Amino acid sequence: MLKAFVKAARLRTLPLSLSGIIVGSFLAYAEGYFNWQICMLALLTTTGFQVLSNFANDYGDGLKGTDNEDRVGPERALQSGAITPKQMLSAIKITGYITFAIAVFLIYKAFGKHNLFYFFTFLLLGLASIVAAIKYTMGKKAYGYSGYGDVFVFLFFGWLSVLGSYFLFAKQLDWTLFLPATSIGLLSVGVLNLNNLRDRISDKKANKRTLVVKIGEEFAKYYHYYILIFAFILALLYIMLHYTSPVQLLFIIAFIPIFMHLYTVYKNKDARMLDSELKKLALSTFLFALLFGLGQIL
């Protein structure tokens, strides 16, 4: 049973979810605001949110019948019968409670008793993150079934992750931080878009109205090109505004496999064959986060 839950947690998705925290933490470190305890707690909180989201997606798609014989990706826990709906629902509740407790501890560690406004603001953001993780596929009005998944992924994986983690350290923001935060957000949306491209046919049959289903495969590919290229441009713009050393351009290395990935998507004739590209893009995003961050402190 434990093995089934570990598989359902989809730990391979963690590098992508941690990327925003890594960038925010590196940027804070570069400005002299870093704290190891806050960093570790932020990484744990994000891990909890990601596992919660994966459990909720498995549960929601399983009950709605979206995970069926038409699905191209790995078999899900409910789909295979390895975990019952009742067991998965219990796991969702437990993961949600534990993650929220860690988030409260993180917020208290960052702001203490003297910044109650910030404390309660981030507490609400934490609750919003839990709700967003659950409501992606669960419930009658799951936003992942209405084409809004891209917006939520951009906001939570990009802006909230990068800017929020930076603010936990620094208690302030500079407008230029929106540039790398948007890059991470767009790269994360790229992973979601690629996933939805792969699942377009099965999603359409299950009435899961993702953005790809709404705009069609051809336009979804153009959308994919634009968001990934724009992610590169914004990261480069941030470096140009804060340029001090060539080492800051390290992040370009991570975009070599990303641009190769774009060519693969361009040449592809059957989006269902893009499953292997998901891991490449997610890991390239993680590599970008590391190299971009290191470029700020070396």
- Residue 97 is assigned to a structural domain of this protein: yes
Residue pair 78/67 in contact (Cβ under 8 Å)? The answer is yes
Say how many domains are in the chain: 1
- Residue 176 is assigned to a structural domain of this protein: yes
- Residue 3 is assigned to a structural domain of this protein: no
- Residue 2 is assigned to a structural domain of this protein: no
pLDDT single digits (tens) 32-69:
999 999 999 999 999 999 999 888 888 877 776 665 56
- Note down the domain range covering 23: 13-297
Q: What is the pLDDT of residue 54?
A: 87
- Residue 1 is assigned to a structural domain of this protein: no
What pTM value is reported for the model? Answer: 0.93
pLDDT single digits (tens) 136-193:
878 777 787 888 899 999 999 999 999 999 999 999 999 999 999 999 999 999 999 9
Angle, CA 38 vertex, CA 36 and CA 41 arms, to 5°:
105
- Residue 224 is assigned to a structural domain of this protein: yes
- Residue 103 is assigned to a structural domain of this protein: yes
